[in-house]
Structure 1
């Protein structure tokens, strides 16, 4: 489970990190709000095509839990913070900041995600994870240091965007059992439409040429759409704090891509940052969380296989084969094994009951 979640979180980080320098290129010919709208609308429409193809081909392996009425408050929060406010603030920051610095400042998102998960939603975070996250942030700090001008013009916009995405990531954690493609599609279509209409109506902006529209849609589909799907699947396996910690590599990816697209910065700082980030990643990869814990009785719907946590009977209408999706009940279970804050391990921790190595 951890390997799957790790790969998904890193894929999300690579796609999102690489998208930031390309988004910077788009800003030369359109306003920040127009760019935010086209990027997210591109992600939403691209994922809508994926959903249509999935339905047309009737792929049983992609069966996922549908949205329920109780999910709507979380979904609205995700769209408002991560879909409307976050990208708009990022584009405003990118218009005032060089691409490499902007990419590195995105590290604030992983720290915001971790701190909100730990402080607000009470997700277990041990000292090893905190120290690893600190190493990754320190690595980004080495690269982004600019003497007295650590926070370059526009940096506060980017920091505010990261806080919005930190809130978004934790709210998305409550939707991690639901079909991630559908969640990301709705987020992209609604949020992209809001920012695009605001640019056209309030700013009297005009759509850029077809090449720029297609370019923005492609960057949005990969960097926001596919990246978000991978991130939400990572949440399912790892929880918000750990997925956010692995996502901290996104700024490093963005900085490397920026070096290829824009004037180069100091290579020595890049090497120092790589060592620090490597230490942080190693600390996260080698984390082991193992203690006796209790699963209280619960009932929900999500895609699963019949593992140690899914020993239930099937009714005549439940789908055959595995993995499959249906409403099921978990009976009370007490055991001990290595685990992470996935869908079935979001329990409280008492003193002495949390062991990490």
Structure 2
């Protein structure tokens, strides 16, 4: 598979896992409080990934463990900001907003997350955008609006503004996570899950909620592990390879996967708006996949640590005995280089235009 298609597939798989979480939550969790649902989902994500990280470390050699990517002190504020915005503020604002806002209005407003993500990436972090990518984003968002549109969607209310604020929080989270995306994706997702899960469960218990039975608790945590944990790992990898706006655009198709799974669980004839939404989202994905951004550009000196192969961007020597195995992880420095090739705004191409 071509690297650009592989990166797009990673983002779409993240969207599929996340989108499938909504109908599964409806089927598995019933009448639990929203904060209890969020807490169990996030905690399941964090605990599941913690187990995965432990098994991975046990399988690695001492040399591999020594060279594995670690979050640097200078990156900690970015990660804490992402956790606070996306794991704490976002869910809290959404839950308060949902308490006074219709489901139809909320579904429409949640499509704004992709818009805000792209806007922050383009305006604040100066990520590259061209007309084709912009039109693809418009098509995907329009598909989300068509998918969630229902008659009787209410006017803007204080509750609706809280839902919008939740979208802004997740957009900030997405952009801040990009700043630490060179690090191990499982570690980032694990930390987010443990912190967000603990905070949301704490709020639920403070409000008087109680844990459900063992079966429903396990089902909720397992759903969260797949839909929030594995999905977030894939999302971080996509951020590393595609940039924030493009990854956010692909992730915005998550509702189509949720609706499709709902139609499988509760069979019925899809509405006309479903097919309109599917067509618009397919158009947006096609516009993104066919992008070819190519121009002469210069790589400045850059030192970081991530999993890599010795491609044209990684021509360096090693200060340790290397057995030739790729990909591998170790701290390395990029020498300045000027060349021309097609690229995304990934971790090696965050240059100005």
Normalising by structure 2, we get a TM-score of 0.90
Q: Does 1:225 align with 2:229?
A: yes
Q: Deviations over 1:85-135 (max 9, x none)?
A: 223344455667787875665432222211110011110111111111111
In the other structure, the counterpart of 2:146 is: 142
Q: Does 1:50 align with 2:55?
A: no
In the other structure, the counterpart of 2:118 is: 114
Shift of residue 265 of structure 1?
7.7
Pick the aligned partner of 1:3 from 2, 5, 10. 5
Pick the aligned partner of 1:185 from 179, 183, 190. 190
| Paired residues of 2:108 and 2:149 also in contact (CA < 8 A) | no
Pick the aligned partner of 1:85 from 86, 89, 99. 89
In the other structure, the counterpart of 1:241 is: 245
In the other structure, the counterpart of 1:352 is: none
Q: Does 1:66 align with 2:73?
A: no
Q: Does 1:284 align with 2:288?
A: yes
Gap regions ≥5 residues in structure 2: none
In the other structure, the counterpart of 2:200 is: 195
Q: Which segment is superposed worse, 251-260 or 177-186?
A: 251-260
| Paired residues of 2:104 and 2:153 also in contact (CA < 8 A) | no
Shift of residue 151 of structure 1?
6.0
In the other structure, the counterpart of 1:355 is: none
1:278, 1:266 → 2: CA distance? Answer: 17
Against the structure 1 CA distance between its residues 103 and 17, is the aligned structure 2 distance closer, same or farther, given a 3 Å change threshold? farther
Shift of residue 184 of structure 1?
0.6
Against the structure 1 CA distance between its residues 155 and 260, is the aligned structure 2 distance closer, same or farther, given a 3 Å change threshold? farther
1:89, 1:177 → 2: CA distance? Answer: 29
In the other structure, the counterpart of 1:175 is: 180
Q: Does 1:316 align with 2:342?
A: no
Pick the aligned partner of 2:277 from 257, 273, 277. 273
3-state SS of the aligned residue for 2:276?
helix
1:68, 1:156 → 2: CA distance? Answer: 36
Against the structure 1 CA distance between its residues 239 and 223, is the aligned structure 2 distance closer, same or farther, given a 3 Å change threshold? same
Q: Which segment is superposed worse, 256-265 or 187-196?
A: 256-265
Gap regions ≥5 residues in structure 1: 350-357
| Paired residues of 1:136 and 1:249 also in contact (CA < 8 A) | yes
RMSD: 2.6
2:225, 2:103 → 1: CA distance? Answer: 20
1:317, 1:95 → 2: CA distance? Answer: 59
2:125, 2:170 → 1: CA distance? Answer: 15
| Paired residues of 1:239 and 1:340 also in contact (CA < 8 A) | yes
Shift of residue 23 of structure 1?
2.8
1:31, 1:19 → 2: CA distance? Answer: 16
1:23, 1:79 → 2: CA distance? Answer: 23
| Paired residues of 1:24 and 1:99 also in contact (CA < 8 A) | no
Q: Which segment is superposed worse, 70-79 or 316-325?
A: 316-325
Q: Deviations over 1:116-157 (max 9, x none)?
A: 100111101111111111111112222323345266996555
In the other structure, the counterpart of 1:32 is: 34
| Paired residues of 2:78 and 2:180 also in contact (CA < 8 A) | yes
In the other structure, the counterpart of 2:254 is: 250
3-state SS of the aligned residue for 1:325?
strand
| Paired residues of 2:40 and 2:217 also in contact (CA < 8 A) | yes
Against the structure 1 CA distance between its residues 110 and 99, is the aligned structure 2 distance closer, same or farther, given a 3 Å change threshold? same
